[in-house]
Structure 1
Amino acid sequence: MTTPKALARSAGLLYLIVAVFTVSAGLVNMRIVEPGDAATTAENIDTAVTLFRIGFVSELVGATAFLLTSMFLYLLLKHVSQIAAAAMVTFVAVSVAIQSLNLLNQKAAMTIATGQDYTHAFGPTGADQLTMLFADLQHDGYLIAQTYFGLWLLPLGYLVVRSGYFPKLLGVLLVIGCFGHLVDVFARFLAPDFGANISPFAMTSAAVAELSFIAWLLVKAVRVPEPATSVPAISYHQR
């Protein structure tokens, strides 16, 4: 039977993979995609197509690891509340589905930027604009998926608080991180300039919560109560 510590450390390792590969994919996109500049974006994709492919695969690996992370945490925490644990996995499954399908937009941008057929069909400017359109769709699709990246932290935080395996503060931080994700997403869609300005502040809470949770899973795993030890009675004989 798998022990709670083994489940926790497995979840922590997978969660670390999520963080590393997803951040790597984001950094690749930030380096290559130039917002509002279709010609530069298309040229960057064409000249750094291998790096763009690495970013694509990195995000796919991160998404797969994210789903596995939620499954291990489900096994670890389902005894606290099966409904909350199921909600946690459901939010992750929705986010992973959106994120994975959204990668088709990135693949389309790469195909157009590196293929001559589209340049011949739409002209250089038209092909560049089409590349930019798919790159923008990929960005917006990721934000939509981020809604569920945030929502999964809500049941997770509840389970962490109630489980006794972790410090309650970790659970509180995860709930705060949930609202950080949601503020970032809705601010970016409702008021893009304002959202871009507050994004670093909104996402700081989520980053602190998730990195702290990863560190605890990997280093401490879980707090398992020590079995009660019986103290032998001492008899005193009075003279």
Structure 2
Amino acid sequence: MAMQQRTGRLAGAVYLVVIATGIFSLAYVPSRISVGDDPAATLANVTAQAGLFRAGIAAFALEQIAFLLLPLLLYRVFAAAHRPAATLMVALAVTGVPIALAALAHRLDAVNLLTDPALARVLAAGQLQMLAMAALKSWSSHIFLASMFWGLWLLPFGWLVWRTRAIPRALGVLLMLGGVGYLLNVFGELLIPGYAATVLSDYATLPASLGEIGSGLWLALFGARASMAGPPPPASALSRRERP
């Protein structure tokens, strides 16, 4: 029990690192850099705020390192209760990391194209801007694909929370709803014209945000409770209990 609580608290601390760096790199930095449908203004902001843009890159790299550790720690919390689901959780979470790191390389390419003096001496400004915009588009495409796995891993994770009650069941429900929301956004944008402008697109992943922040805080503060749905005891133990 004490070991599970310590592992849970460590997982919660790592989860909070994932959340904080994710908010900074995927929400705050884009809010300061991206200008809707104005690519020229976006590129100008990348150049003018190159330090902030690079800080976003560093934060996202740290997030991915933490996100590699997180499912492994959660596996130690949940594997005794249902090993196949815990293994699936790890596999789905880890699969998104290489896609996200490939995206990060494109983001780094964009800022280097716009700020490297050596490149400015051999390529025209228009060429550099075109290549930088192509790099940012590739970043967006890779993140779009990675978000599918950001949703998929929440489904077994949320189910394990619900089954084991290691943390409040309400958080498990939010995690599963959030996983569905990620998938709705991915396939909605792929298949439904104009889906990105709908209200559903704006709020589909809100349960994931609430569930992940809540799970990270709960685990960091309280750790993981002992599983209430672990494997059944061996037959010998049952027979001993039944003896008068």
| Superposition TM-score, scaled by structure 1 size | 0.86
Does the Cα contact within 8 Å between 2:177 and 2:208 map onto a contact in 1?
yes
Offset at residue 98 of structure 1 (A)? 0.9
- Aligned-pair distance for 1:87? 0.9
**Alpha-carbon distance in 2 for matches of 1:42, 1:192:** 27
Aligned counterparts of 1:193 and 1:38: Cα–Cα separation in 2: 20
Structure 1 ranges of 4+ moved more than 6 A: none
How far apart are 1:3 and its partner, in Å?
A: 0.6
> Once superposed, what is the RMSD of the aligned Cα atoms?
2.2
Instruction: Report if the CA contact (8 A) 2:167-2:219 is conserved.
Output: no
Q: Does residue 216 in structure 1 map to residue 218 in structure 2?
A: yes
Is it true that 1:3 corresponds to 2:8 in the alignment?
no
- Report the structure number with the largest CA radius of gyration: 1
Q: Deviations over 1:159-218 (max 9, x none)?
A: 112223233332222111110111122223334632243332102121122122122212
Residue deviations 1:62-91 (CA, integer Å, cap 9, x gap): 111111111110011110111111111111
Rounded Cα–Cα distance in structure 1 between residues aligned with 2:195 and 2:165: 39
One-letter amino acid of the structure 1 residue matched with residue 205 of structure 2? M
- Please list every run of 5 or more consecutive structure 2 residues that lacks an aligned counterpart in the other structure: 228-244
What is the total number of aligned residue pairs between the two structures? 226
Identity %: 30
Structure 1 pair 107–66 and aligned structure 2 pair: CA distance change class (3 A):
same
Alpha-carbon distance, 1:2 to partner: 6.7
Is 1:119–1:126's contact at 8 Å kept on the other side of the alignment? no
Q: Which moved more, 1:204-213 or 1:166-175?
A: 166-175
Q: Using the TM superposition, give the Cα deviation of residue 17 of structure 1 relative to its aligned residue in structure 2, in angstroms.
A: 0.6
Q: Bigger CA drift: 119-128 or 215-224? A: 119-128
Structure 1 equivalent of residue 159 of structure 2? 158
Gaps of 5+ in 1: 226-239
Q: Give yes or no for contact 2:110–2:136 (8 Å, CA) kept in 1.
A: yes
Q: CA deviation at 1:33?
A: 3.0
> Is the contact made by 2:77 and 2:224 (CA closer than 8 Å) also made in structure 1?
no
Alignment-mate amino acid for residue 14 of structure 2: L
Higher relative contact order (CA 8 A, sep 6+): 2
Instruction: Report if the CA contact (8 A) 2:12-2:220 is conserved.
Output: yes
